[in-house]
Structure 1
Amino acid sequence: MAITSANQLELLQTAEAVAREKMIDPGLVIEAMEESLARAAKSRYGAEMDIRVKIDRKTGRATFTRIRTVKGEPELENYQAEMTPTQAQQTLGVKGKDYVVIGGMSQPEGEDEAPRPIRRFLLRKPTELDRALAEGVDQSAPPAEGDELVDEVPPVEMGRIAAQSAKQVILQKVREAERDRQYEEFKDRAGTIINGQVKREEYGNVIVDIGAGEAVLRRNEKIGRESYRPGDRIRVYIKDVRREQRGPQIFLSRTAPEFMAELFKMEVPEIYDGIIEIKAVARDPGSRAKIAVISYDNSIDPVGACVGMRGSRVQAVVNELQGEKIDIIPWNDDQPTFLVNALQPAEVSKVVLDEEAGKIEVVVPDEQLSLAIGRRGQNVRLASQLTGLDIDILTEEEESARRQAEFEERTKLFMDTLDLDEFFAQLLVSEGFTSLEEVAYVELDELLVIDGVDEGTAGELQARARDYLDEQNRKALERARELGVEDSLVSFEGLTPQMIEALAEDGVKTLEDFATCADWELAGGWTTVDGERVKDDGILEKFDLSLEEAQDMVMSARIALGWVDPAELAETDEDGEPAEEEAGA
Structure 2
Amino acid sequence: MAITSANQLELLQTAEAVAREKMIDPGLVVEAMEESLSRAAKSRYGSEMDIRVKIDRKTGRATFTRVRTVVADDELENYQAELTVEQAKQYMENPQIGDEIRDEVPPVEMGRIAAQSAKQVILQKVREAERDRQYEEFKDRAGTIINGVVKREEYGNVIVDIGRGEGILRRNEKIGRESYRPNDRIRCYIKDVRREARGPQIFLSRTAPEFMAELFKMEVPEIYDGIIEIKAVARDPGSRAKIGVVSYDGSIDPVGACVGMRGSRVQAVVNELQGEKIDIIPWNEDMPTFLVNALQPAEVSKVVLDEEAERIEVVVPDDQLSLAIGRRGQNVRLASQLTGLDIDIMTEEEESQRRQAEFEERTKLFMDTLDLDEFFAQLLVSEGFTNLEEVAYVEQDELLVIEGVDEDTAAELQARARDYIEEQNRKALEHARELGVEDSLVEFGGLTPQMIEALAEDGVKTLEDFATCADWELAGGWTTVDGERVKDDGVLEKFDVSLEEAQDLVMTARIQLGWVDPAELEPEEPEEGEGVETEEEAGA
**TM-score, normalised by the number of residues in structure 1:** 0.88
Alpha-carbon distance change, 302 to 432 in structure 1, aligned in 2, over 3 angstroms: same
Preserved contact between residue 357 and residue 526 of structure 1 (Cα < 8 Å): yes
Q: Does 1:14 align with 2:14?
A: yes
Report percent identity of matched pairs: 90
Q: Distance in 1 between matches of 2:440 and 2:238?
A: 62
Cα displacement (A) at 1:74: 2.6
Distance in 1 of aligned mates of 2:18 and 2:467: 68
Alpha-carbon contact 1:182-1:212 (below 8 Å) kept: yes
CA displacement 1:485-517 (0-9 Å, x = unmatched): 000000000010000000000000000000000
Change (3 A) 1:341 1:413: same
Note the alpha carbon deviations across 1:156-180, whole angstroms, 9 max, x for none.
0011111111111111101100000
Cα 1:295–1:580 shift into 2, 3 Å: closer
Change in CA separation of 1:174 and 1:282 when aligned onto 2, cut-off 3 Å: same
CA RMSD of aligned residues (A): 4.3
In 1, the alpha carbon distance for the partners of 2:442 and 2:123 equals: 76
Aligned residue in 1 for 2:75: 75
Structure 1 unaligned runs (5+)? 91-142
Q: Deviations over 1:240-280 (max 9, x none)?
A: 00001111000000000000000000000110000100000
CA distance in 2, matches of 1:560, 1:286: 59
- Secondary structure of the residue aligned to 2:331 is helix
Structure 1 residue 85: Cα displacement: 1.0
1:209 to 1:558, Cα distance in 2 relative to 1, 3 A: same
Q: Do the aligned partners of 1:524 and 1:584 also contact (CA within 8 Å) in 2?
A: no
Aligned-pair CA distance for 1:527: 1.0
Could you say what secondary structure the match of 2:188 adopts? strand
Q: Could you list the per-position Cα deviations for residues 221-246 of structure 1 after superposition, in whole angstroms to 9, with x for gaps in the alignment?
A: 00010000011100000000000111
Deviation at 1:581, TM superposition (A): 37
Report deviation, 1:16: 1.0
CA 1:524–1:583 in structure 2 vs 1: closer, same or farther (change >3 Å)? farther
C-alpha deviations, 1:262-318, integer Å up to 9, x for none? 000000011000010000000000000000000011111100110111111101100
1:231 corresponds in structure 2 to 183
Deviations 1:304-337 (A, max 9, x none): 1101111111011001000101000000000000
TM-superposed CA distance for 1:568, in Å, is 2.2
SS in structure 2 at match of 1:469: helix
SS at the partner of 1:507?
coil
Query: Following TM superposition, by how much is the alpha carbon of 1:73 offset from its aligned partner in structure 2, in angstroms?
Result: 2.4
Do the aligned residues in 2 keep the contact of 1:198 with 1:206 (CA within 8 Å)? yes
* 1:13 CA drift (Å): 1.3
Q: Distance in 2 between matches of 1:148 and 1:521?
A: 67
- For the 8 Å contact 1:35–1:53, the answer to whether it is kept is yes
Structure 1 residue 584 displacement after superposition: 38
Structure 1 partner of 2:469? 517
- Indicate how the Cα distance of structure 1 residues 572 and 180 shifts in structure 2: closer, same or farther if over 3 A, else same: farther
| SS class of match (1:433) | coil
8 Å contact from structure 1 (residues 519, 582) kept in 2:
no
Q: For residues 410 and 373 of structure 1, do their structure 2 counterparts lie closer, same or farther at Cα, with a shift above 3 Å needed?
A: same
Mapped contact 1:19–1:25 kept (Cα < 8 A): yes
For residue 408 of structure 2, give the secondary structure of its aligned residue in structure 1. Answer: helix
With over 3 angstroms needed to count, the CA separation of the structure-2 counterparts of 1:581 and 1:474, relative to structure 1, is farther
Residue deviations 1:121-158 (CA, integer Å, cap 9, x gap): xxxxxxxxxxxxxxxxxxxxxx1111111111110001
Deviations 1:72-104 (A, max 9, x none): 1232222221121112224xxxxxxxxxxxxxx
**Aligned residue in 2 for 1:583:** 538
> What CA deviation, in whole Å up to 9, does each residue of 1:18-74 have, x standing for no partner?
111111111101101100110110110111111111111111111110111111123
Q: Distance in 2 between matches of 1:158 and 1:506?
A: 80
Given that 1:68 and 1:148 are in contact with CA atoms closer than 8 Å, whether structure 2 keeps it comes out as yes
Instruction: Give the superposition deviation at 1:379.
Output: 0.3
44-53 or 233-242, which deviates more: 44-53
Q: Report deviation, 1:573.
A: 11
SS in 2 for 1:573: coil
Q: Secondary structure at the match of 1:179?
A: helix
Shift, 1:340, TM fit: 0.2
Query: Partners of 1:197 and 1:259 in 2: how far apart?
Result: 18
Call closer, same or farther: CA 1:196–1:538 in 2, change over 3 Å. Answer: same
CA distance in 1, matches of 2:439, 2:539: 28
The equivalent residue for 1:50 is: 50
Change (3 A) 1:583 1:476: farther
Report if aligned partners of 1:380, 1:391 keep a CA contact under 8 Å in 2: yes
Provide the rounded CA distance (Å) in 1 between the counterparts of 2:259 and 2:328: 27
Give, in angstroms, the shift of residue 576 of structure 1: 17
1:9–1:60 CA contact under 8 A, matched in 2: yes
Q: Which stretch of structure 1 is more off in the superposition, 46-55 or 388-397? A: 46-55
Q: Please list every run of 5 or more consecutive structure 2 residues that lacks an aligned counterpart in the other structure.
A: none
3-state secondary structure, aligned to 1:240: strand
* d(CA) in 2 for partners of 1:210, 1:75: 54
Q: What secondary structure sits across from 1:280 in the alignment? A: strand
TM-score with structure 2 setting the length: 0.96
Q: Structure 1 residues 584 and 15, CA, compared in 2 at 3 Å: closer, same or farther?
A: farther
Give the Å deviation of 1:583. 34
Alpha-carbon offset, residue 213 of structure 1: 1.1
Distance 2:255 2:468 in 1: 52
Name the CA distance, whole Å, in 1 between partners of 2:425 and 2:295.
46
- In the TM superposition, residue 575 of structure 1 has moved relative to its aligned partner by 14
Q: Aligned with 1:583: secondary structure?
A: helix
Distance 2:316 2:525 in 1: 48
Cα distance in 2, alignment partners of residues 40 and 237 from structure 1:
47
Aligned to 1:573: 526
Mean Cα displacement is larger for which, 460-469 or 7-16? 7-16
Residue 25 of structure 1: aligned partner? 25
2-side partners of 1:575 and 1:322: how far apart? 61
Deviation of residue 14 (structure 1)?
Answer: 1.3
Match of 1:127 in 2: none
Distance change (3 Å), C-alpha of 1:576 and 1:308: farther
Contact 1:515 1:558 in 2 (8 A): yes
Deviation at 1:574, TM superposition (A): 11
Shift of 1:572: 10
Q: CA deviation at 1:533?
A: 1.2
* Contact in 2 for aligned 1:207/1:216 (Cα 8 Å): yes
